[in-house]
Amino acid sequence: MSYPGFVPVRQLVLVDLLGLMLGVRPGERAVVAIDGVDGAGKSHLAAELVTLAEHVAGRQVLSVSMDGFHHPRARRYRDGRTAQTYYRDAFDYDAFQRSVLEPFRAGREIVPAVRDVTRDVAVHPDPVEADDDALLLVDGVFLHRPELVARWDATLFVHVPFEVSVPRGAARFPDRRVAGDEDPGHPTHARYVEAQRFYLDQAPVQQATWVLDNTDLRRPDLFHGDKDEPVV
Contact 114, 97 (CB under 8 A): no
**pLDDT exceeds 80 at position 171:** no
**pLDDT exceeds 90 at position 174:** no
Dihedral sign (CA 104, 100, 143, 113): positive
> At 178, is the secondary structure helix, strand, or coil?
coil
pTM of the model: 0.91
Contact 135, 59 (CB under 8 A): yes
Q: Distances from the Cα of 43 to the Cαs of 3, 9, 57, 175, in angstroms?
A: 30, 19, 20, 21
Give the pLDDT score at 169.
75
**Separation between Cα atoms, residue 84 and residue 121, nearest integer Å:** 24
Express each pLDDT in 113-141 by its tens digit.
999 999 999 999 999 999 999 999 999 99
Express each pLDDT in 184-231 by its tens digit.
778 788 899 999 999 999 888 889 999 999 999 999 999 987 555 554
Give the pLDDT score at 232.
41
For residues 70, 71, 76, 82, the Cα torsion angle rounded to the nearest 10 degrees is -30
Per-residue pLDDT band at 96 (split at 50, 70, 90): very high
**Separation between Cα atoms, residue 89 and residue 71, nearest integer Å:** 7
Per-residue pLDDT band at 1 (split at 50, 70, 90): very low
Q: Which helix (H) or strand (E) holds 11?
A: helix 9-22
